[in-house]
Structure 1
């Protein structure tokens, strides 16, 4: 039975991309609603591969993954888009649509979800102002700096208030002041109930979210120095 507050559960999950050794091995953990997780580890430890499993872009080679109470391995592929709409993703390489403006890139998830245009302009403008891009709403990605593209990608990921936000090195292309501001945006979403998973190699970030839980990957295996893998659901307010 699904535990109260459970977002996702991994049971003995392994991943290999070819006949070579597994890049992820024996992953068993549960992520709970309303928690803030940092995923750390050296370059090549498997952080991006684990995130791909979390946002259902990759199927494991073995084991079971349950998302929102549903077996994500055996469910019909036709139902995957429904699950994915509950997951916000900040990609390391941004993946902005090049021919769309910053505004239209951020608005894209709302339009795909069927929101009316009259309900889109306000939230999109607000989030772009919050990430410091109020004067760049009409700019296309090619005219934006790397840091500006990163902020558009983050705004797009959070605009739909997802149940879980998965971010791969989200502060890697911005200055320290903006990195802290973006981290505060993630915290705000977390306080509203969104489960946040931030993959980072920046150990300074870990100290900036006092209630965060740390999951550490080492050569494809997880350790949890703050008990993240065993943490119970947060009690209702």
Structure 2
């Protein structure tokens, strides 16, 4: 796809294998433009989660080039990677909430880690919890929340700091269709503020909710179709 200005992410011939096994991702090349919205689709086992792990810097590739924010991250020392990770919001498929913290404190965690004064934390956290329909569960522990409620807390935590890139792995998998649409609108709102959004999903109906979504399709660890409009290309 053509870049609108400087790409926020560039993958060039990236491959990934775990140990001595065969590659789970092969010859992956694409760019992500600033402020665009992308869907990543593909069958279970196609490599979506592995590709997302590369995007949020939890995994280094076995080969190839990854550039992010104008920086070659393959040659960047590991001790400098956390500063780049803080610019990326992540919604994990397994939520990864801190079990001993309330829903409020889980959502507030990124703001506190960034050094924001406590007086400036309560309002944005309350607002985002209200938006995802959990203002009445602010003091609840993760163990007392349903799967869908945990998912919404995880999403609120990922977007609270207005990250430059948002990476979401099946973010609507544990919510009903109405809440799925509401969460998609939240991602859209964040995208309009300039965040590059990448949503991995099995739910192709989500693609119909956006006017002209950009889509990457993974098949057996390779990109079968990249950067195309959902309505312009086949499934």
Query: Which category describes the TM-score, using the shorter chain as reference length?
Result: over 0.9
Q: Does 1:153 align with 2:154?
A: yes
SS at 1:97 equivalent: coil
- TM-score when scaled to structure 1? 0.93
Q: Which residue of 2 aligns with 1:162?
A: 163
Q: Which residue of 2 aligns with 1:233?
A: none
Q: Is the contact made by 2:4 and 2:34 (CA closer than 8 Å) also made in structure 1?
A: no
Q: Which residue of 2 aligns with 1:231?
A: none
Q: Which residue of 2 aligns with 1:120?
A: 121
- TM-score when scaled to structure 2? 0.94
Cα separation, 1, equivalents of 2:4 and 2:42: 28
Instruction: Extract structure 1 runs of 4+ deviating beyond 6 A.
Output: none
Cα separation, 2, equivalents of 1:20 and 1:149: 34
Structure 1: stretches of 5+ with no match in the other structure:
229-237
Correspondences of 1:46-61 after superposition (within 5 Å): 46-61=47-62
Q: Which residue of 2 aligns with 1:74?
A: 75
Q: Which residue of 1 aligns with 2:233?
A: none
Q: Is the contact made by 1:36 and 1:213 (CA closer than 8 Å) also made in structure 2?
A: yes
Q: Does 1:141 align with 2:147?
A: no
How many equivalent pairs are there? 227
SS at 1:6 equivalent: coil
Using the TM superposition, give the Cα deviation of residue 212 of structure 1 relative to its aligned residue in structure 2, in angstroms: 1.4
Q: Which residue of 1 aligns with 2:42?
A: 41
What whole-Å deviation, never above 9, does each CA across 1:216-236 have from its counterpart, x for those lacking one?
Answer: 0000000226537xxxxxxxx
Q: Is the contact made by 1:106 and 1:153 (CA closer than 8 Å) also made in structure 2?
A: yes
SS at 2:198 equivalent: strand
Q: Is the contact made by 2:30 and 2:226 (CA closer than 8 Å) also made in structure 1?
A: no
